[in-house]
Each structure stands twice: as C-alpha cells, then as structure tokens.
C-alpha cells in the first residue's frame, strides 16, 4: 500500500531528480523527511518492483553508438537469457514482447566495435541470432507519467 509520500516520490521525481552530491537529502528537505528515510523508501519501492532504476536518461548519440536488438527466445529460457543480457552495463530497456522476437533491449556502447562485441557475446551465450535495428532518426519520448490525480500529488 502506497502512502502519499510514496506517491510523491514516484510522481514528482520521474523528472527533475536533483543533480547534487546528496540528492536524497534535497528530496527529504522538500518533503520534510530525513535523507535516510527517502533512501529507504526508494529502496522499498524498487524492491517491490514499482521502480526499476534511478539514473539519468542520456543522449546516447553524444556518448557513442546504440542499437535496438531483438531475440527470439523460448519462453522457458526467458529468465536465463534476460540475466545474460542484464549483465552488460551497455544494456538498458530490456523488455518482453508478445511477438516471435520476444526479448528486446537497447545496447549503447562507446564505439561501434564494442557495440558489435556485446551483441555477438549475447548471441553466443543465448544461442539466438540477434535482429539488430540501429536508430535511423532520434525521437525524444518523455518517459514520465501522471500516476495520480489528487490535489496532494499534483
């Protein structure tokens, strides 16, 4: 069960997360909470699967190269292959889809060579051939969502 503070954490810090040495202290100050309680609440929300990560969304085209990649994985192997994929720091946005190519993820690497290495290693470890879909045009998609319609959290 989420209380109003949990809802504020989920709603208000999707965007505008403080970029400071002690962001949780800043959030706590805004909400009237000690820093350690903010950290513990985010940890609990993460453990409950309500948030998957706290971190920046970077313009990958300024940092290196990236590609969307899809694999066709038997359903009984999804978890083990997802673990392989998630072990790479270059991978983000790993998700399951209802399609022949059912496991999709984005690889962002410092060079085209490293991008290719990561994809080939994942192919080798998973036993599946990758469908590689490099970005042709960059679109900004706002990943923040209005979660609640209450006066206290808007």
What pLDDT digit, counting tens, does each position of 62-113 carry? Answer: 678 889 999 999 999 999 999 999 999 999 878 999 999 999 999 999 999 9
pLDDT (0 to 100) of residue 1: 82
For the chain, percent of residues with pLDDT exceeding 90:
62
**CA–CA separation, 18 and 7 (whole Å):** 17
The answer to whether the CB of 10 falls within 8 A of the CB of 143 is: no
| pLDDT above 60 for 150 | no
Question: pLDDT averaged over the chain?
Answer: 87
Q: How far is CA 108 from CA 48, 61, 67, 118, in A?
A: 27, 9, 7, 9
pLDDT (0 to 100) of residue 151: 43
Q: What is the pTM (predicted TM-score) of this model?
A: 0.60
pLDDT (0 to 100) of residue 154: 42
């Amino acid at each position: 069960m989420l209380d109003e503070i949990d809802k504020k954490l989920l709603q208000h810090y999707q965007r505008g997360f403080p970029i400071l040495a002690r962001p949780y202290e800043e959030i706590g100050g805004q909400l009237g909470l000690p820093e350690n309680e903010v950290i513990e609440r985010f940890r609990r929300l993460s453990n409950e699967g309500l948030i998957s990560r706290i971190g920046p969304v970077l313009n990958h085209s300024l940092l290196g190269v990236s590609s969307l990649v899809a694999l066709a994985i038997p359903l009984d192997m999804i978890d083990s292959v997802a673990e392989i994929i998630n072990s790479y720091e270059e991978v983000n946005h790993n998700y399951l889809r209802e399609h022949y190519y059912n496991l999709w993820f984005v690889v962002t690497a410092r060079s085209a060579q490293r991008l290719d290495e990561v994809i080939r290693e994942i192919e080798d470890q998973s036993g599946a051939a990758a469908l590689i879909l490099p970005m042709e045009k960059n679109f900004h998609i706002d990943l923040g969502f209005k979660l609640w319609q209450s006066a206290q959290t808007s």
